[in-house]
């Protein structure tokens, strides 16, 4: 039994949740999110409460139960307060800047790295601090992870892109005799 799936999801004031078949739409002060869900889970929306129940008692349906509850909670939380992730770019000569809807990076390669920013995300780059903000938690996390993958932090000097608050495990370099 899913402990997360059994809980009722409260809908805060100013947020409207509608269901159209398998599609759930959440409208809030910061924007609109919609997502398609499989029909293995029945989603019941009343005035200010959402309940989820499984249709079949198999392993797959039980695994979707808590996942869908978390997705709906994240959608409701995102339209109220946007999600934010921060990256720190460390290293001599490493630069980042936003030009229009594109990131321009100088990451020590022989060419500049250009990454386009999705429409629903706002990004800022001041000095070597990058901030990514958006209402979709999944999109913000995957976009930030994609940026970090361009130049992962290396363990000897700590150069590269890391999350704010991430601790890089350092290695000792070569010893001289």
Q: Where are the domains of the chain?
A: 3-80, 83-163
**What does the pLDDT read at residue 1?**
59
DSSP state letter for 8: -
Residue 117 token pair: 């920013």
**What does the pLDDT read at residue 102?**
95
pTM of the model: 0.90
Give Cβ neighbours of residue 104 (< 8 Å, ≥ 6 apart). Answer: 96, 97, 98, 112, 113, 114
CB 2 within 8 A of CB 65: yes
Domains 3-80 and 83-163 alike in fold: yes
Per-residue pLDDT of the chain (177 residues; tens, 9 = 90+): 568 888 999 999 999 999 998 899 999 999 999 999 998 899 999 989 999 999 988 888 888 999 999 999 999 999 999 999 999 999 998 999 999 999 999 999 999 999 999 999 999 999 889 999 999 999 999 999 999 999 999 999 889 999 999 999 999 888 876
Q: Does domain 83-163 have CATH number 1.10.760.10?
A: no
**Among the four given CATH numbers 3.40.50.2000, 2.40.50.140, 3.40.80.10, 3.90.930.12, the one describing domain 3-80:** 3.90.930.12
**What does the pLDDT read at residue 79?**
95
**What does the pLDDT read at residue 13?**
92
**What does the pLDDT read at residue 71?**
95
DSSP-derived 3-state class of residue 34: strand
């Amino acid at each position: 039994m899913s402990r997360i799936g059994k809980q009722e999801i409260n809908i805060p004031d100013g947020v409207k949740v509608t269901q159209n078949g398998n599609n759930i739409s959440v409208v809030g002060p910061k924007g609109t999110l919609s997502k398609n869900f499989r029909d293995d889970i029945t989603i019941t929306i009343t005035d200010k409460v959402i309940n989820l129940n499984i249709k079949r008692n198999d392993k797959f349906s039980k695994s979707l139960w808590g996942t869908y509850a978390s997705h709906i909670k994240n959608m409701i939380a995102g339209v109220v307060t946007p999600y934010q992730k921060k990256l720190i770019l460390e290293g001599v000569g490493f630069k980042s800047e936003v030009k229009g809807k594109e990131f321009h990076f100088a990451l020590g390669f022989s060419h500049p790295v250009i990454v386009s920013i999705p429409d629903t995300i706002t990004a800022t780059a001041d000095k070597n601090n990058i901030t990514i903000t958006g209402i979709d938690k999944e999109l913000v996390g995957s976009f930030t992870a994609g940026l970090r993958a361009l130049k992962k932090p290396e363990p000897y000097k700590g150069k590269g892109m890391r999350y704010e608050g991430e601790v890089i495990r350092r290695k000792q370099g070569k010893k001289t005799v």
